[in-house]
Copies of this chain bind each other. A is one copy, B any other.
Amino acid sequence: MEFSIQRDYFITQLNDTLKAISPRATLPILTGIKIDATNEGIVLTGSDSEISIEITIPNQVDGQDIINVVEPGSVVLPGRFFVDIIKKLPGKEVKLSTNEQFQTLITSAHSEFNLSGLDPDQYPLLPQVSSDDALQLPVKVLKNIIAQTNFAVSTSETRPVLTGVNWLIQQNELICTATDSHRLAVRKLKLEEEIEDKNVIIPGKALAELNKIMTDSEEHIDIFFASNQVLFRVGHVNFISRLLEGHYPDTSRLFPENYEIKLGLNNSDFYHAIDRASLLAREGGNNVIKLSTGDTQIELSSTSPEIGTVKEEVTANDVEGGNLKISFNSKYMMDALKAIDNEEVEVEFFGTMKPFILKPKDDDTVTQLILPIRTY
């Protein structure tokens, strides 16, 4: 294998490939980046066996020569270390050449590295996902969906299905649901094109990594589902994640009906008041904030015997219903408010011991449900 490549462009693509690589890979070869040079360009592959990223660099980008492949071939080089080297090389261009023992010579200006590479045949094969039946979404919308649901997945492996986000496609509607059993986030989206019904669970960690890779320069992303894999294709990047096995719980019965009290609040005012109250709640070690409603003045408070007390007042824009005192985890509330992409938020309460619901005003596509904490 022998090729030369524009260093700046190479660095960007290598950084994205690295996102799939874990320094604690169980299989040593997976700490490496696989490089395949062909006459059409170069393919970079990184994987931690849960997610894989495959980036194709064409010979030319925007009419500019990026790569010159002298001899096609493949090698696996030590991931992070190789990327650090490429970043620090002095020249605009870098040249790689590999011998039959996968010894790789990397040269740029007056700098010369000789690295022990690994046999690419030892690198695991990536799962093949058929490119039929794609779901196409605007990148912005997918980023939104991830931001509005992914934070609510469980971080505990007790119930593995809850570490993922349930993507349910039925009757041309996508319903994404995440819950850690203390709070739940739902985002709904009407689909413009006809697509087969699906019910899959995508690992939360994979969606978080995908989110980092999608740049605003790409408009659309194509999503392909296989029986136990999902492929996201955005520009020249293939992002593949395994799906979680098991049945996602039916969460629709969790939503209470007929609220007792409904508040209309300014999202930012409410968020900052909770943020302040949570300072004391966190210092006290329990994260519990109390909310009490009555008239338009909503009172938030938290008490920690050794440290002190805090009291915040927020003025509601609308109030329906009477008095209520309820306690909740401040972090869940702040996460939910951040996920509601709207200046006005509606909060529906169903009683002191029942879950309550947050929504953007006049918008049913996002619903955040939080279980209260028993303190009264």
Contacts and interface: CB of A to CB of B under 8 A. Distances in A.
* Residue of A110, A280, A306, A313 contacting most chain B CB atoms (<10 Å): A110
Interface in A267-315: 272-273, 275-276, 279-280, 283, 306-314
A81 interface: yes
A146 interface: no
A110 B298 CA distance: 11
Given A279-B84, A279-B88, A273 B111 contact: yes
B114 A309 contact: yes
Contact of A114 (B273, B310, B313): B310
Nearest to A283: B81
Nearest to A112: B311
A31 to B, nearest CB: 12
A90 interface: yes
A280 B113 contact: yes
Contacts of A309: 113-114
Size range of the chain A interface in the assembly: 20 to 34
Contacts of A81: 279, 283, 307
B110 A312 contact: yes
B272 A113 contact: no
* Residue of A88, A276, A314 contacting most chain B CB atoms (<10 Å): A276
A111 B312 contact: yes
A116 interface: yes
A283 B306 CA distance: 49
Contacts of A85: 276, 279-280
A261 interface: no
A78 interface: yes
Contacts of A195: none
B308 A88 contact: no
Interface in A99-113: 103, 110-113
B114 A308 contact: yes
A191 interface: no
Contacts of A307: 78, 81, 115-116
Nearest to A80: B283
A113 B275 contact: no
B112 A312 contact: yes
Nearest to A275: B88
B308 A113 contact: yes
A88 B275 CA distance: 8
A112 B85 CA distance: 53
Interface in A323-366: none
A142 interface: no
Interface of A: 78, 81, 84-85, 88-90, 103, 110-116, 272-273, 275-276, 279-280, 283, 306-314
15 contacts: A81-B279, A85-B276, A88-B276, A110-B312, A110-B314, A111-B311, A112-B312, A113-B280, A113-B310, A114-B308, A114-B309, A114-B310, A115-B308, A116-B306, A116-B308
For the complex of A and B, the 6 pairs showing the least CB-CB separation, nearest first, are A115-B308, A110-B313, A112-B311, A114-B309, A114-B308, A113-B310
Given A81-B279, A89-B276, 13 more contacts: A78-B307, A85-B276, A88-B279, A90-B272, A90-B273, A111-B313, A112-B311, A112-B312, A113-B308, A113-B309, A113-B310, A115-B307, A116-B308
